[in-house]
Amino acid sequence: MTSVDSGTRPSPVTASGRTADRPLRRELGVANAFSHTFLLLWAAMTVLPLIWMVVSSLKTNGEILADPWALPEALRLDNWTRAWTKAHIGRYFVNSAVVVAGSLTLTMLFGATAAYVFARYEFRFRQVVYYLFVGGMMFPVFLALVPLFFVVRNAGLFGTWTGLILVYSAYSLPFTVFFLTAFFRTLPTSVAEAAMIDGCGHFRLFFRVMLPMARPGLISVGIFNFLSHWNQFLLPQVLMQGDESKWVLAQGLNALAVNQGYAGDYAQLFAGLTIATLPVLVVYVTFQRQIQAGLTAGQLK
């Protein structure tokens, strides 16, 4: 944020400053080479597994077993079609998209409305209700797992997308409300007051004035929630057993891995993993700035 231009400043100690310059330069040169080596090393460690995954998805099983480092003789795109159709990765992909679309919409709507009330309205027991709500962030999901299974089953939602959508949203609400309450509090009250004087009602004020003003916060927490819903594994594993046609992507990939253990179809597993990874990476690279800001803002608040 600081835009200090060191060049325009008068140097306070000219004489000693010049002599001190030389060792500093050398020190910087060494540090530079040193830092580049380590930075490159870690970059390689991050990228290599992913490249290996993509390359292996284009090899035959024989090639994968013969030499994990070798490049494919020919590009075996049939691995991809096999994973997409026979292992149903395509279907699971669509299922995940449907579930996440529903859960994200619900989370954002409920999160924004609840946070707005906590941030802008005074009422009795507000603090108590707020902390009860936000306290959910601290609990490990594990503790709730067994009873949750029965709550969902008794509600007739076991093995349904509706069940998953409701549960995803419920568990995302504490953080979403926490984050958005802080955000709504930072918005200036003058705009709201002006709108009220002009005769704007409470509901219209929220949807027409406050919600658009809160857009940066909504985007941050939306990205955060999208990734956590998309990558969810534990909840579907417990609440979506049985009917394979309704599985989400994480379950499908796990099934692929289990199947690989029996059938030894490595290429299909790598193809499935690649299909699941590439869209996420493409979206990430395109919206890198927003995604990094969104995810880190969640922790800095």
Partner 1 sequence: MRQGRLPLIISFLLPPLVLYGVFVLSPYLQAFQISTTDWLGYSAQADPVGLANFRTLLHDGYVWNALQNNAILLAVVPVLTIALGLFFATMLAMGGRKGRAGVHGVRGTAVYRLVYFFPQVLSVVIIALLWKELYNPRSGLLNGALGALGLPTPAWLGDPRFAFWCVLAVMVWSNVGFYVVLFGAAMQAIPRDIYEAVLLDGASRTVMLRKITIPLLWDTVQVAWIYLAIAALDGFILVQLMTNGGPNFSSDVIGNRMYDTAFGSETKFGYASAIGVVMFFLTLSVAVLALRAARRDRIEYS
Q: Which of residues 90-109 bind partner 1 (CB under 8 A)?
A: none
105-144 residues in contact with partner 1 (CB under 8 A) are 110-111, 113-114, 116-117, 121, 123, 129, 132-133, 136, 138-140, 142-144
CA distance 191 to 201: 13
Q: How far is the CB of 223 from partner 1 (least distance, A)?
A: 10
Amino acid letter at 21? D
Provide the mask over 3-22, with x wherever binding to partner 1 is found by CB under 8 A and - wherever it is not.
Answer: -x-x-----xx---x--xx-
Residue in 2, 14, 190, 245 binding partner 1, rule: CB under 8 A? 2
Binding of partner 1 by 266 (CB under 8 A): yes
Cβ closer to partner 1: 224 or 246? 224
CA 185 → CA 85, 144, 177, 188, distances in Å? Answer: 49, 31, 12, 8
Instruction: Tell the smallest beta-carbon distance from residue 174 to partner 1 (Å).
Output: 8
Contact 214, 183 (CB under 8 A): yes
- Measure the CA–CA gap between 221 and 295, rounded to whole angstroms: 8
Tell me whether residue 12 or residue 188 sits nearer to partner 1 (CB atom). Answer: 12
Q: Could you give the residue ranges of the DSSP H alpha helices within the chain?
A: 14-56, 61-66, 78-81, 89-120, 126-134, 141-154, 161-186, 189-197, 202-204, 211-213, 215-230, 234-239, 249-263, 266-286, 288-300
Q: Give the number of residues in contact with partner 1, rule: CB under 8 A.
A: 105
Using alpha carbons, select from 156, 159, 154, 132 the residue that is nearest to residue 235. Answer: 159
Q: Per rule CB under 8 A, is residue 278 in the interface with partner 1?
A: no
Residue of 60, 254, 259, 290 that binds partner 1 (CB under 8 A): 254
- 243 belongs to the binding site for partner 1 (CB under 8 A): no
What CA–CA distance (Å, rounded) separates 215 from 198? Answer: 23
Distance CA 120, CA 261 (A): 55
Does residue number 1 form part of the binding site for partner 1 (CB under 8 A)?
yes
CA-CA distance, 237 to 231, in Å (whole number)?
12
Site for partner 1 in 166-195 (CB under 8 A): 166-167, 169-171, 173-174, 177
Find the binding residues for partner 1 in span 34-73 (CB under 8 A). 34-36, 38-39, 42-43, 45-50, 52-53, 56, 64-65, 67-69
CB of 54 to partner 1, least distance (A): 11
- Tell the smallest beta-carbon distance from residue 78 to partner 1 (Å): 19
Residue type, 121: Y
State yes or no: residue 151 binds partner 1 (CB under 8 A).
Answer: yes
Q: Which two tokens stand for residue 23?
A: 């060792």
Instruction: Answer yes or no whether residue 207 interacts with partner 1 by CB under 8 A.
Output: no
